Amino acid sequence: AILDWKSRRTRFLDSSRQSMAAAPYHISNLLEKMMSVDKDYRFMATNDLMTELQKDSIKLDDDSERKVVASVLRLLEDKNAEVQNLAVKCLGLLVWKVRETQVSTIVTSLCKNIFSEKEELRDICGIGMKTVIAQFPKTSGGVAVSSSRHICDSFLTAIETKSVDTYILLEVLDVLAELIQKYSSSLSNFHETMVTVCMPYLVDPHPLSVRKRTYIALCNLSISCSSVLFDSIITQLLMGLKLGADGSGSFSLINARTYIQTLAAIARHSGTRLSPFLVQVVPAIMYYTKNDKEDELRESCLQAFEALVSRCYTEITPFIPQIVGLSLELLCHDPNYDYGLEEEEEGMDTDKLEDEEFESDDEYSDDDDVSWKVRRAAAKCLGVVLGSRPEMLTSFYKEVSPSVIKRFKEREENVKIDIFAAYCALLNCTRITSSVQQTSDEMEMTDTPISLLSSQVPSIVKALHRQLRDKSLKIRQGCFALFTSLVSVLPGTLDTHMDQVIPGVLSSLVEKTSTPNMKMDALSFLNILFTHHSRTVFYPHVSAILPAVITCVNDSFYKIISEALSVLKKIVEIIKPLDAPQDGGEGVCDYQPHLEDIYETTLSRLKATDIDQEVKEMAITCMGTILCHFGSELQSKLTVCLPIFLERLKNEITRLTAVRSLNIIARSPNNIDLTLILVEVVQLQSSFLRKNHRDLRLATLTCLDSLVKVYSTTLSPTLVAMVIEEIPQLISDSDLHVSLLAMTFICTLLTLHKSEVVMNIGRGQVMVKIIDLVQSPLLQGSALNAVLQFFQVLVQQNVSGGVTFNELFKLLTDSVYQPREKEGTVLPGTQLAIHKQAFHNIAKCIGVISLSVQSKTVSVVEKFIEDVKNETCTTSVKLLALFSIGEIGRHSDLSHHVSLQEVIIDAFSSPTEEVRAAASYALGSVSSGNLQLYLPVILEEIQSKPKKQYLLLHSLKEVIACHYATPEGLAALKPYVPQIWPVLYSHFESLEEGTRNVVAECVGKLTLLDPEILLPKLKENLASSSAFVRSTVVTAFKYTVTDQPQPIDALLKNCIGDFLGTLGDSELNVRRVALVAFNSAAHNKPVLIADLLDTLLPVLYKETKVREELIEEVEMGPFKQIKDGGLDTRKVAFECMYTLLENCLDRLDIFEFLHHVEDGLKDHYDIKMLSFLLIVRLSRLRPTALLERIEKLIDQLKLTIQSKVKANAVKQEHEKQEELKRSALRAVAALLTIPDSDKSVVLSEFISQIKGNQETAALFESVQNDSASGGIEAMEVK
């Protein structure tokens, strides 16, 4: 038979190919075979037709379309099921290939046949209808809408006017639900009819399957139907529930359950619309929870409450206590089981119980008992509440947590897992909320969530430790998840409970019944325990832990091996920490019995080459850690394992890990002897510096630095020269971190390796590259400090043949004194020879080398004084001279240079602004070297020379900044505060904003010196009638709130409300600077403002509003421009909201907050950008609340993404618009990460619109790729 079929298939294909060759797009031959009496011919012809329809090139004329559609519809009645299935698939393809009239023909035929008396035809037409609808485009319009209207009209008429079979009804309801979900707005004419027709199907005697599909259809309808119709649906549901509550026999409990399930479904999809009805809905549902005979009804009630809590965040709040109380009550609903026996067992000797295998309670289960469904629904409802109400955490820990902990003894596995999940939700909410900084007073309070949780840890451990040995692997994994969440909230909390926790964890590693996933979870949990707890608590358990871990290292599954090696590495760090006393003593673990096993087990994995890459890398890392910690005891083993490290170093795949491990070994205080492989290691690593692999370069430089520190006398000059040759290419402003490590390595060489090769570094390419780097405007921070250290070390060597001070000085100053023409650099006249920032860098380098060679300091300063005095010197020379004098004077007393003060002050009169600023900087820096001499001069000059006040105030600011950095500096400056304060105070009311800002910074930093006296003085001026004074005071207050603990913090706590009270000031500028201060306080010390937020937030939100009176039209020649005077204030207000969201989340009413975010989406470009960032952050911190308001957010996001610039717009406007769209799309991508966001029809339609446009689709794909590589946090930063 098979051979016969094959031969016929061959003949059929031959004839088809001949036909297709003659007419590529003509399919009449196929249509003829589709009517063959031979079922095999029909099957093959239909299959070939499907293949042709899948080709994009196929085109059909009207006649061919009509014939193909007729033939395919005819095959739906074929007697062969396989042919029918192929016909259905062809229908789906035809929707995209034929014209609208033929699609109507298909739909009409399916609508007619779906009500056929032939059961088989009904079935296949139902499938065909769903296939056709699935192929309709998601966007409304054209044939999809017209066909959908035809289907709705036919179906609703049919089920309204005649009784139909249950199966047909199910198909019809499925189709209607899908159509409403896709094209609800286009089918608005059918909404009312659909409600009228469908509502009766929610009640008896219709079967459960019909009722379920009915409420799904109504649920989809509720999303977009009119408010009147929505109100009608809810009213009918509530009336039905009221009938049941009144005892009407016409409304059964089964009907009540269906109505409640319908309300729950509507809540999940249209929670915002249902919110106004909660006052009636909640009591109605609550009534039915009292029926203790109908567990499935109570389950539905709890599921409805779960949906309401998650989707009606604000409106459900008054009912939360009732819902929590009900959930706790029903969480204990287990009428068929007595827990008394278990409670008696809990009082027994736990040591004896731990020796016995924990018995499963499955024997007590009753097949007819469905009470577990109630308990599971209660647990899930509690989980939603506990995880979404940070403001109620304290009451949760007082009233809910103890009851949930008691229910950890639940006998049903699935219910217990959900109880664990509910408690994990509480812990995760606590973790997010506790990220806000706390003062020591708050930490000592006994009613904070953290302190309450701490007091309940013993109960949690007692309830879980036996279950770590439960037969159910799911329960064990649930225990690990809960303990992990607990430790993430309270690190170290299990220190006193290891005796109870460790045995249960180990049982999951050694039992034969443990699955790979179970072992992975146990090992991961061990890793977390080791990371978050004191090492000494594990010493009594090492002898039990190690054999189990070593067994896992010898496992056959690569993931278990890798995780076990990671745990073994942690154990090594614990049992012999690097800071442990060498002579033993108390608090030291006896590791000797285990050392051999640890080494040999790791070595076996290190030697293996036929293992997974992950295992190879972890074996290298683990062995590196073992040698680092136990090197002194394993000296005899080095000849075996070190060559393996060398081999791994030669392997491209493992070399990065090998370099990092060798660095760990080289830095060990145990002085590991690496001379066996040292030469080859250095040679290989010098070649790595040429590789285009940044991480490898970084690791190699770090490792080489460690090797030089230990083996400087062993390394030959030739070997060192090989490495030095590779260094110049690494020093560049394109990667400052690599440059930092390269210069650190050079400094180590200069200090420890006294060879001629090293001493000549100052004359080679390395110096050329460093000089170029010094002249880069990008050089700053740690990289700049490394450059300064290099020059200091270089000039201090003072070896014959090395670079001299004069040579170094010339190299640093040539770019200024003998500038060369460079592309894009203008040198003549007063233009600068190098970038302005480069002057500071060169001056710092000159300061370092001059102070390092004391004999040269005087001559260098005198030279610079002459340069400043010389009128023929260029601006660049004078700038370098002044900055260099400042850098030298900052660290030494230059008072013996008699003319210095006069020269610097004369430079204040220079016609060049840059020179005046440099003179100001120099005077302040020089004054720091001798406060007694120079500070009175600055104060006197400020008072006597009004035209130079701004520059002199900057000098004073520099003095304060120099001393502010160290405790010694603060002590030196403190005696002068009484002289400085009156001078600054006299400028509080300066007309120049720049002057007031400088004064405010000085005052703020001075206040930190003597807060008890100066802070009250500052506070007094808040009552000033001058807006300038008030703004200066508030700006000064900003500088008193630092990110480090200060003595002033206790005083600020009592008066911060007075300073921030200026948020309500009548002057716009005062409000703006107050908002800046508020933002600074929220960022640096959120605990200071947390209790004031109830008062401050309404004022903050007020400043986010657009004020029409501040908007004016300004004429600029022939053009008119709109100027918004309140824009800067609004920007600061939104920035403040962004900070509060991260640091004071638990104090925010998130829905009020969201309301202002929505307004921000309609505002100016800058405000929109900030609002998009807020949405991204909210998607991480408050996803549930964001999901509830997603419709309003999408409306505004849609306007932004669909907006276009004017045709005559300039390039900058186009770039600005594209960045705005990208930011909006980042917000959309963040919304997609929210759980259950895929259930939002509005969001799904919006995503379809984005992907339907070629331009926005490309942008969206780019944004998603960026977010995938960096996560949501990356989206926030962009």
Q: What is the pLDDT of residue 647?
A: 94
Model confidence over 352-363: pLDDT tens digits? 434 444 444 444
Q: What is the pLDDT of residue 1118?
A: 72
DSSP 804: P
Give mean pLDDT, residues 79-91.
Answer: 90
Tell me, what DSSP letter sits at residue 165?
-
Local structure of 1182: helix, strand or coil: coil
Q: Please give the pLDDT value at position 366.
A: 54
> CA 1246, 1251, 1252: angle at the middle one, nearest 5?
95
pLDDT band at 1254 (very low <50, low <70, confident <90, very high): confident
Asked whether residue 264 carries a pLDDT value surpassing 90, the answer given is yes
Q: How high is the mean pLDDT of the chain?
A: 86
pLDDT of residue 973: 87
Instruction: List the structure tokens of 81.
Output: 């099921």
Query: Residue 49: pLDDT above 70?
Result: yes
CA distance 267 to 276: 12
Q: Is the pLDDT of residue 900 over 60?
A: yes
Q: Which is nearest to 1139 in space by CA: 1168, 1097, 1098?
A: 1097
The string of pLDDT tens digits covering residues 1005-1036 is 889 888 888 899 999 999 899 999 999 999 99
Q: Which residues contact 1075 (CB under 8 A, 6 or more apart)?
A: 1063, 1100, 1103, 1129, 1132, 1133, 1136
Whose CA is closest to 169, among 150, 187, 153, 156? 156
pLDDT exceeds 90 at position 944:
no
Q: What pLDDT is recorded for position 391?
A: 82
Per-residue pLDDT tens digits for 1028-1080: 999 999 999 999 888 777 888 888 888 899 999 999 999 999 999 999 999 99
Query: 166-181 pLDDT, tens per residue?
Result: 888 888 899 998 888 8
Q: Is the pTM of this model over 0.85?
A: no
φ, ψ dihedrals at 457, nearest 5°: -60, -45
pLDDT score recorded for residue 917 = 93
Q: Which residue has the higher pLDDT, 106 or 432?
A: 106
Say whether pLDDT at 797 is over 80: no
pLDDT band, very low/low/confident/very high, at 827 (cuts 50, 70, 90) = very low
- Does residue 1167 register a pLDDT over 60? yes
Q: How confident is the model at residue 1272 (pLDDT cuts 50, 70, 90)?
A: very low
| 11 Cβ contact list (under 8 Å, min separation 6) | none
Q: What is the dihedral of CA 861, 865, 867, 869, to 10 degrees?
A: 180
> Which pLDDT score is estimated for 377?
95
Extract the tokens encoding 887: 């850098």
- Tokens for 935, please give them: 């500070």
Percentage above 70 pLDDT, the chain: 91
Identify the pLDDT of residue 12: 43
Confidence of residue 833 (pLDDT cuts 50, 70, 90): confident
pLDDT of 847 over the 90 cut = yes
Nearest one of 1090, 1086, 1124 to 1108, comparing CA atoms? 1124
pLDDT at 1235 over 70: yes
- What pLDDT is stored for residue 822 in this prediction? 46
- Measured torsion, CA atoms of residues 25, 31, 36, 38, in degrees rounded to the nearest 10: 60
Distance between CA atoms of residues 1157 and 1151, nearest Å: 10
β-partners of residue 1113 are: 1122
CA 1255 distance to own-chain centroid: 27
Q: Is the pLDDT of residue 22 over 50?
A: no
Q: What are 616-643's pLDDT values in tens digits? A: 999 999 999 999 999 888 888 899 999 9
- Burial zone of 14 (CB within 10 Å; 0-12 exposed, 13-18 middle, 19+ buried): exposed
pLDDT at 616: 94
Instruction: Judge if the upstream peptide bond of residue 577 is cis by omega within 30 degrees of 0.
Output: no
Predicted confidence (pLDDT) at residue 840 exceeds the cutoff of 90: yes
- What was the pLDDT predicted at 350? 45
Q: How many degrees, rounded to 5, is the angle at CA 822 between CA 818 and CA 826?
A: 80
Give pLDDT tens digits for 265-282. 999 888 888 989 999 999
Return the bridge partners of 1120, or none: 1115
Residues 461-517: pLDDT tens digits?
A: 999 988 988 888 899 999 999 999 999 999 999 999 999 999 999 999 988 888 999
Per-residue pLDDT at 887 = 93
One-letter identity of residue 93 = L
Report whether pLDDT(25) > 50: no
Task: Report residue 17 as tokens.
Answer: 């190919």
Instruction: Enumerate the H helices of 490-533 as residue ranges.
Output: 498-510, 516-532
Using the predicted structure, report yes or no on whether residue 19 has a pLDDT greater than 60.
no
Residue 180: predicted pLDDT: 87
The most confident of 179-193, 752-766, 916-930, by mean pLDDT: 916-930
pLDDT digits (tens, 9 = 90+) for 1072-1120: 999 999 999 999 888 888 888 889 999 999 999 998 888 887 777 677 7
Which range among 312-316, 546-550, 819-823 shows the weakest confidence by mean pLDDT?
Answer: 819-823
Confidence band of 26 (pLDDT split at 50, 70, 90): low
Confidence of residue 3 (pLDDT cuts 50, 70, 90): very low
Q: What mean pLDDT comes out for the span 89-110?
A: 88
Q: CB of 995 within 8 A of CB of 961?
A: no
Polymer length of the chain: 1278
pLDDT classification of 342: cutoffs 50, 70, 90: low
Q: Reply yes or no on whether the pLDDT at 112 is more than 70.
A: yes
- Smallest CA-to-CA distance from 1182 within 484, 450, 432 is with 432
Strand blocks (E) in 306-353: none
End-to-end C-alpha distance for the chain, whole angstroms: 67
Q: What's the whole-number mean pLDDT along residues 54-75? A: 84
Give the lowest-confidence range in 446-460, 727-741, 963-977.
Answer: 963-977
